[in-house]
Amino acid sequence: MLRQSFRAELQQLDQELIRMGALVEDQIRRAVKSLTERNVTLADMVIADDDRVDAMEIDIERRCLTLLALQQPLAGDLRIVSTILKIITDLERMADHAADIAEVTVRLGQEPLVKPLVDIPEMARLSSSMVRLALNAYIHRSLEEAVTMIRLDDDVDHLYSRIFDDLQGLMQDRPETVPQAIHLLFVANYIERVADHATNLGEWVIYMVTGERKELND
């Protein structure tokens, strides 16, 4: 078996990527939980843990660059390493959005919610499951799984426009809700961005498998 050390390093990178993905998924889940449960302590933890995600990104990036410099991978191997480099950037951005949501929790403090949160947690659940499905597609090198997970973005977009309409109606009917509704609108937007980044992950997996770059969400 040739290039065993390269394969071994790639396997380790896969593990690290899965760990980073799991952490990001957890960050999104906990950020939205902190908002629905008005748990500022949990929000602070999410904000603090963003540094862990950043550190993981830097570590994986460094290892990818070392692999590129020392092993000079080509063809499918080159696509794997460049896919990892792109995926970690998207994961890091998603974690930033989770921290943004946690910031909203902190800002709102114990202020009563202007409406019960139903669609926002559902949107977050969908978006974070997209992250997991995208990483599964990466690990399985599966074009089919990547294409399937990207379709979930339509559901997220649908929820987003519903939340948008709801909050807009609320602000028109009850102008006193505007300050908080704007925050919630931002939260919905952050989650929508998370789903877009997850879609990017799927697109990178498609590139890794087929060598073709396709923009599937527009």
Partner 1 sequence: MTLGGYRVDNEAPHINVTHLSVAYRDQRILKDVSMTVPGGRVLAVIGPSGCGKSTLLRVFNRLVDRVSGVHIKGQVQVGNFEVIGDHVDLVELRQKVGMVFQHPNPFPFSVFDNVAYGPRLQGVKNSNRLRLLVENSLKQASLWDEVRGKLRRPASSLSGGQQQRLCIARALAVSPQVLLMDEPTSALDPLSTAKIEELVLALKGRYTVILVTHNLQQAARVSDFTAFFREGHLVELGPTKEVFTTPRRSATEEFLTGRYE
Which residue of 16, 26, 44, 77 would you call a contact of partner 1, by CB under 8 A? 77
Tell me which residues in 193-212 interact with partner 1 (CB under 8 A): 210-212
> By CB under 8 A, what part of segment 142-181 binds partner 1?
none
> What's the closest the beta carbon of residue 210 comes to partner 1, in angstroms?
8
User: What sign does the CA torsion over 141, 192, 187, 159 have?
Assistant: negative
Cβ burial 35-47 (10 Å sphere, 16+ → b, else e):
beeebbebbeebb
Contact call for residue 85 and partner 1 (CB under 8 A): no
Is residue 69 within the footprint of partner 1 (CB under 8 A)?
A: no
Is residue 66 a contact residue for partner 1 (CB under 8 A)?
Answer: no
Q: Which stretch binds partner 1 (CB under 8 A): 15-23, 69-77, 94-102, 172-180?
A: 69-77
Cβ of residue 4: shortest distance to partner 1, in angstroms?
10
DSSP characters for 143-193?
HHHHHHHHHHHHHHHHHHHHHHHHHHHHHHH-GGGHHHHHHHHHHHHHHHH
